[in-house]
Structure 1
Amino acid sequence: MARGKHVAEGARSGGDSSAAPPDHGDGRPAIDVSEISRTERRTIRSSDKKLTIEFEQVSAHMAVLKLAGTLDVYTHRLLREACEKACSDGYWLLVLDLDDLDFLDSTGLGTLVSALKRVRAHRGALSLSLTKDRILKIFRITGLIRVFPTFPSVTEAKDYLFAGNFGR
């Protein structure tokens, strides 16, 4: 598996945003593990360095967005733009790795819900990798723990999406 790393703020050439991912015939996307050909990484930072998002391509339709820092009213646009870009490039299966997130406010939560709606509109799914108790507590208190599939590792979150056993 080839790996590349670079810092990018601009557009990346990618998939056709109008094409839906292949499915099992019942609306669940079918991801063929053989289509995993390479991993591309790019890092996006907010101008004040409060939020960093690292993009990692996993397969033709799956990507991991690793968030580090603060997701709040001042930085939520960066995540919104990263999710919009991922979906427009054909990544309808997203794992958001929140393990390095230090702070999350209601605006950040709203941005996560919007990201979930965006991928579902493309018949995709979103899962979270999350182990920090203070961030998990926010999801429990708001009831969003029942909305977002949450896993203790990125590998488990990816496996969930690869299996295609998610409901809408």
Structure 2
Amino acid sequence: MIYFLPIATIKVIRTDLRIQRRRRNGREHAIDISVDVDSTGRARAVRVAGELDSYTAPELARTLREQLDSSPSMVIVDLVGLDFLDPASLSVLVKASKQARSRNISFSLVLISERFLKILEQTGLRGAFPIYSSASEAFTAEEP
């Protein structure tokens, strides 16, 4: 997926693909998560695709921690590519949001799946993050 952000230079910082195996119903299957980080000036767009659950959440937590440590002005977490979202893994996003707020860094989500928005509602987190339908919308709205 390519983002069209108002800043001329977009630089891909890192792309990770992590594949693990776990048993479900007595059979092994592959789990994967892809975490890509794009940088434009002092903004970071973290794109997540695949399955976000207790097995893959530590990868996202590590990436978000690294991005917050680089002192950007904003972090946009794009969850449009998610196939599965475990409500328990939301703690990674909550923790990163709190860390961002304590450092005066804008933190928002890009999420369009009604199924995942419903999970945020059911867990009481719908209002915890600014939520946008695209990264460019988030970038424009959160720009200082």
The question of a shared fold, defined as TM-score above 0.5 by the shorter chain, is answered with yes
Displacement over 6 Å in runs of 4+? none
Q: Would you say 1:124 and 2:66 are equivalent positions? A: no
C-alpha separation in 2, matches of 1:141 and 1:92: 30
Alignment of 1:63-74 (within 5 A): 63-74=44-55
Aligned partner of 1:97 in structure 2 is 78
Contact 1:92-1:122 at 8 Å conserved across structures: no
Helix, strand or coil: the match of 1:145? coil
Q: Would you say 1:44 and 2:26 are equivalent positions? A: no
List alignment gaps of at least 5 residues for structure 2: 1-5, 21-30
List alignment gaps of at least 5 residues for structure 1: 1-32
C-alpha separation in 2, matches of 1:123 and 1:100: 27
C-alpha separation in 1, matches of 2:113 and 2:85: 11
Give, as a single letter, the amino acid of the residue that structure 2 aligns with 1:93. Answer: M
TM-score (structure 2 length as normaliser): 0.82
Contact 1:37-1:59 at 8 Å conserved across structures: no
**Residue deviations 1:9-35 (CA, integer Å, cap 9, x gap):** xxxxxxxxxxxxxxxxxxxxxxxx8xx
User: In the comparison of the two structures, how many residue pairs are matched?
Assistant: 128
Helix, strand or coil: the match of 1:38? coil
C-alpha separation in 2, matches of 1:152 and 1:112: 17
130-139 or 46-55, which deviates more: 46-55
Aligned partner of 1:141 in structure 2 is 122
Contact 2:87-2:123 at 8 Å conserved across structures: no
C-alpha separation in 2, matches of 1:85 and 1:139: 25
**What is the root-mean-square deviation of aligned Cα atoms in Å?**
1.6
Q: Would you say 1:109 and 2:81 are equivalent positions? A: no
C-alpha separation in 1, matches of 2:72 and 2:59: 17
TM-score (structure 1 length as normaliser): 0.71
**Residue deviations 1:82-128 (CA, integer Å, cap 9, x gap):** 01110112224111111111111133200000110111121112111
